[in-house]
Structure 1
Amino acid sequence: MGQLGLFERGDDVLTDGPLGRVTYTPELIDAARAAAWFDELRERVEWRSERRMMYEREVDVPRLVAGFRLDDANLLAPLREADAAVRAATGVTFSSVGLNFYRDGRDSVAPHNDHLNELRKDKPIALISLGSTRRMTIRAKAPPRRVLHVDLEPGSLLVMSYETQLHYDHGIPKTDESVGPRISLAFRVRVPSDGRANFYR
């Protein structure tokens, strides 16, 4: 199994080709603002826990979640500001933001791709990280199963093209290292729906 090493600061393009494009921009948001956003979202968002079936039993999802439409008139200021920053960086007008709150190294998200039936095929997914740095693993689904590891720093932006969801899985693995809490903001353009779309993903 091939593996690409960790990327140095300033190396923005992690992969670019027929299987999709992934870019990483450190310090899109300055440290003071990223810290202020983290504090406000941690305190003011109505975080919820979820349960899911795994191996024929129901288990707790190992993180807290929340989600919002970006046209919500009551959207919290950090989310409005983050949306504006991501829109300026990508040129894309997103419609929703899903939040994940990783409380410590035991919280995680298993390797997965986004639900393709809910996404616009020509639009990327953009991820802003706040709080502590956590490592994301991006793994090709087919041989050669190359692996990308990137440490998502506070204030950073990761952008994955739609095609990456077809050809790669991504996840945040658990870690035994001592890490603080982290909040991720995942911006997406969703297809028109009957209003029942799961904005928590």
Structure 2
Amino acid sequence: EVKSTNGDTFLGGEDFDNRIIDFLADEFKKDQGIDLRGDKLALQRLKEAAEKAKIELSSSKETEINLPFITADASGPKHLVVKLSRAKLESLVDDLVQRTLGPCRSAIKDAGVSTSEIDEVILVGGMTRMPKVIETVKEFFGKDPARNVNPDEVVAIGAAVQGAVLKGDVKDVLLLDVTPLSLGIETLGGVFTRLIDRN
């Protein structure tokens, strides 16, 4: 039975990538005096490199971003070579990691439980592989998150189970979900009149 649901639809892995992109662009501008943000091709290469670096830093302490021929000026081609440590990445995204706790607090409050009553914490999505996210979740809930579920597959597994339930292949599982958003209708004057409250 789902007691409550919450989330930040404006926060995801791309936000973390953007912090790395900004860092790389700033470093390059300091070093070469050229702002790569105005160059769409260079920006795409930065985006790909940022995502790769983010993933590498989940298992390594440091990575090197090496983008030869990222741009050119009158003196010739320019190359971007920047080392990025896990500690630096964590400082770049600390506020984003902290933002993840707001929905956790709201979901717990809406469910009417405390963190000590939570039996298991399951992480969902690729960003939950980041050691800082795991550490923050552990501090907040007072327990290690479950490691027996792949964060990239957990939603698909849940959907497969629900599909099997709806088809009738699985009989011993019943999902009682909540409405994640309030539902209502538009009434006179363009006013939203709530019919069903969220959760």
TM range (shorter): under 0.3
User: Which one has a bigger Cα radius of gyration?
Assistant: 2
Structure with higher helix content: 2
Structure with higher strand content: 1
Which structure's relative contact order is higher, taking Cα pairs within 8 Å and 6+ residues apart? 1
| TM-score after normalising by structure 2 | 0.24
